[in-house]
């Protein structure tokens, strides 16, 4: 990569962290209470990037009827809030990438549609809550992704140019937001993108299968 990269921003769910098992367990707890059919956690993983809306849409599909009541969503989010950091883990290779980024004095942060009450628990669980200097969560914004608002806020915090910033995500909305912000975009195929989605149609600047692939690209 010929450009001088000053900052790398990450999406959270499915890009920086595998939050799928905790979200799935929370959903299945509520589905069981309501006598609905549970969902398969590996299959749900492919819907995580769409947040609570995508998760409950998938549960509705599995059950063959709409279960998207405001009460159901509120109960799911409360259950998830109570059990946010049980099985959640960093995506394999992320810690190695962060080590490389910090060693090369590149700024980094996280921009996610997820709300801060969940994000803060996850970052604290990873013991990196004080390391993430540039954090933008969905509740800090007027418009979440695919709007570029969160990304523009992050580079303002970091005092860097969009043209020298990379945004990495696992959903088309991430790539749309990154392009709208004028950043270099990286599509992350870390197991959260279903076979029904054509990642290459998003036209990200770079597509990677593992976080460490970005180390090689940064070194070019």
Domains along the sequence of the chain with CATH: 7-18+88-218 (3.40.50.1000), 20-82 (1.10.150)
H or E element at residue 172: helix 172-180
99 Cβ neighbours under 8 A, 6+ residues apart = none
Q: Does the pLDDT value for residue 1 go beyond 70?
A: no
Token code pair at residue 104: 């090369």
> What is the secondary structure of 29-90 as a DSSP string?
HHHHHTTPPP--HHHHGGGGGGHHHHHHHHHHHHHTS----HHHHHHHHHHHHHTSSSS-EE
- Distance of alpha carbon 120 from alpha carbon 49, whole angstroms: 18
Could you identify the residue written with the tokens 């969009």?
A: 162
Average pLDDT, the chain: 95
58 Cβ neighbours under 8 A, 6+ residues apart = 39, 43, 44, 47
Neighbouring-strand partners of residue 8: 108, 166
- Write the pLDDT tens digit of every residue in 90-131: 999 999 999 999 999 999 999 999 999 999 999 999 999 999
The model scores a pTM over 0.75: yes
């Amino acid at each position: 990569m010929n450009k001088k990269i000053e900052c790398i921003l990450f999406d959270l769910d499915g890009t920086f962290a595998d939050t799928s098992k905790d979200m799935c367990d929370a959903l299945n707890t509520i589905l069981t209470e309501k006598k609905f059919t549970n969902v398969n956690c590996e299959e749900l993983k492919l819907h995580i990037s769409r947040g609570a809306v995508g998760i409950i849409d998938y549960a509705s599909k599995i059950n063959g009827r709409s279960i998207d009541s405001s009460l159901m969503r509120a109960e799911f989010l409360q259950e998830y809030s109570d059990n946010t950091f049980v099985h959640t883990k960093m995506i394999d290779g992320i810690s190695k990438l962060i080590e490389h980024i910090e060693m090369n004095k590149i700024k980094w942060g996280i921009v996610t549609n997820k709300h801060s009450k969940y994000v803060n628990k996850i970052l604290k669980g990873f013991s990196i809550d004080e390391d993430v200097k540039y954090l933008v969560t969905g509740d800090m914004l007027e418009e979440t992704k695919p709007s570029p608002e969160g990304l523009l806020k992050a580079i303002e915090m970091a005092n860097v140019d969009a043209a020298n910033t990379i945004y990495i995500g696992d959903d088309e909305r991430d790539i749309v937001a990154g392009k709208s912000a004028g950043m270099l975009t990286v599509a992350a195929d870390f197991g959260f993108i279903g076979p029904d989605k054509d990642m290459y149609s998003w036209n990200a600047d770079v597509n990677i299968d593992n976080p460490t692939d970005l180390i090689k690209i940064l070194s070019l």
